[in-house]
Structure formats: structure tokens, C-alpha cells
Amino acid sequence: MAAIRLLLSLLTGLCAYYFYSQETLSPFKPPEMVRGKRVLVTGSSTGIGEQIAYEFARMGAHLLLTARREKQLKEVAQKCLELGASSARHVVSDMNNLTSAQNVIEDARNKLRGLDYLVLNHVGGSGRFGPFQGDMAAVTSSMTVNFLSYVQLTVSAMTMLQESQGSIIVISSLSGRIGAPFTLSYSAAKFALEGFYSSLRRELRLREISLSVTVAVLGYIDTAKVDCWFTRLPHHLSSIPHNSCYGFDVLFVPPTASIPAPSTGTESLKTRLCVQWEH
Ligand SMILES: *[C@@H]1O[C@H](CO)[C@@H](O)[C@H](O)[C@H]1NC(C)=O
């Protein structure tokens, strides 16, 4: 009992700290910072990636969308234009193939002439969620799609991102923080992302390279409802002054169960996003 009480008070303290940190953020600003910026969103034919693309579109960004399915990508690109994107292009890619990942960045170089935001969001792999059966092909495929392709995209885009003093945004999940049964390969890849990108952030800071790395740790998301609240994430990111970008560690979005009914106000969103700062 004592242990449980201790745990509870620890948790309460942590939550209070998160909300307190949140309050110290600069207030939301209009999205001018994003207008005209060049943004690549992977896995943007559906789900969270699609909604992120729409949010950048509303803020007037130049978008390059990528995923495997061309028909869906075209539709999303069209909708981005209707929402106010400065431009919206697409390129088909398969993130199980690292050459294909490299080609996406080549496309950004040729068509956008640079890159300001690299939003890594895609997920995939040959395996299915379920009891681990020792299927090595599924592990390899998950590590390739959900981890190695992220690294490949980052490596290929590094020069452009340094030139623009840009941002890398990695969409991760609770499975990258807490091991979860029946999702071993996926969880392993998400843990790898956390290791790579938190190390990269620290290394860039030590080398005084002005490039921000953000890992968004999401709980379970019903993507059909995602635009109720998650799509405002880029607003949130854009509200952070550039010189404090290095310190931006993790956006922690609690699991759906603890998220109050959707509301459109950014103020209420602010209190629903818990932010952990790296000092
Ligand atoms: C990987 O992608 C490249 C470029 O799109 C392509 O030429 C190559 O055939 C692909 N490899 C495999 C194994 O599909």
C-alpha cells in the first residue's frame, strides 16, 4: 500500500511538473513562422501523417507528401491545396527500401530546393501485431521501415536541414517508452528511434548546430478523430522561439482515455499536451 501511495504521489508530482512546464511555454502565435516553409511529411496518405499535412497546409507551407499509395496521396495533396498550402507535391515511396527513402530526399532537393521541416511519421513492416513467433523477417522488416528508413531520411536530408536551420519531428509512441506485449518488433523499432534521436539532439547541441529534434510520444490514437486535437501540434511547435529549440525534448500526449472531450481552443489544447523539457 505504501508503495502504491508513493507511486501515486510521484505520478501526481510528475503531472504537476509537466503542466507547470507547459505554462512556461511562450503563448501560441499565429502560424506565420510556417508560411512558405518547405515540409516533407512521410506516411501522409492517411491517419496522423495526413492530418499533419493538412495542418501545415492551413499554415501555408510548401508540402511534399510521400507514402506507398499514389491515389490517396494525390487526394491528400489536392486537399492541402484547398486548405491553403503554398504548394503540394507527392512522391511515391516504399520505406522498406532505403534507396527509395533516399530518392524522396532527392525529390525534396529538386522540387522544393531545400527543406525546413522533416516530419517522420510512417509505420509499416511485414509483421502483424500478435504473439511473437520468432519471425526474423518480420523483425528485420519492422526495423527497416520503422527505424532504418527514418535514419536514412535524416542522413540524406541533413545538409539541407542544416542550411535552413530546420526541424526534425519524429512521431513516436508509448511503445517506444514502455515495452508492450504483442507488438515486439514495432516496440523495438520505436525504442531505437528514441535512442537515436535523443542522442542526435544532444550531439547537435554540443556541436552548436542549429537544428531542432522533436520526438512526439503519442498514446493510442483513433486516427479518425485525430483532427480534433492532434493536428494542432505544428502550431505548438511553431510557437517555440528558434533559440530555445534545442531544449525541446518530447511532446508527450497522454493516452486517449485521459484526453477530455475535443475542443477547438488552442488554450485547452495547451493544457492537454504535456511537455517535458530537456535542460
Ligand atoms: C528500391 O528502390 C529503387 C529506387 O526506387 C529501385 O530501383 C529498386 O529496384 C528497389 N529495390 C527493391 C528491392 O525493390
- Ligand 1 centre to CA of 177 (Å) is 33
- Ligand 1 centre to CA of 178 (Å) is 34
Predicted confidence band of residue 259 (pLDDT cuts 50, 70, 90):
very low
Spell out a b/e string for 54-82, using b for 16 or more CB atoms within 10 Å of the CB, else e. bbbbbbbbbbbbbbbeeebbeebbeebee
pLDDT tens digits, one per residue of 104-153: 999 999 999 999 999 999 999 887 788 999 999 999 999 999 999 999 99
pLDDT (0 to 100) of residue 101: 98
| Average per-residue pLDDT for the chain | 76
pLDDT (0 to 100) of residue 124: 92
pLDDT tens digits, one per residue of 47-62: 889 989 998 999 999 9
Report the predicted TM-score, pTM, of the whole model to 2 decimal places: 0.74
Predicted confidence band of residue 6 (pLDDT cuts 50, 70, 90):
low
Q: Which domains does the chain have, with CATH numbers?
A: 28-220 (3.40.50.720)
Residue whose C-alpha is closest to residue 49's, from 117, 127, 102: 117
**How many Å apart are CA 240 and CA 33, to the nearest integer?**
10
- Ligand 1 centre to CA of 53 (Å) is 26
Could you tell me if the CB of 100 is within 6 A of ligand 1? yes
pLDDT tens digits, one per residue of 172-192: 888 888 888 888 999 999 999
| Better-scored residue on pLDDT, 256 or 158 | 158
| Pocket perturbation via mutation, ligand 1, pick of 97, 102, 103, 145 by most ligand atoms within 8 A of CB | 97
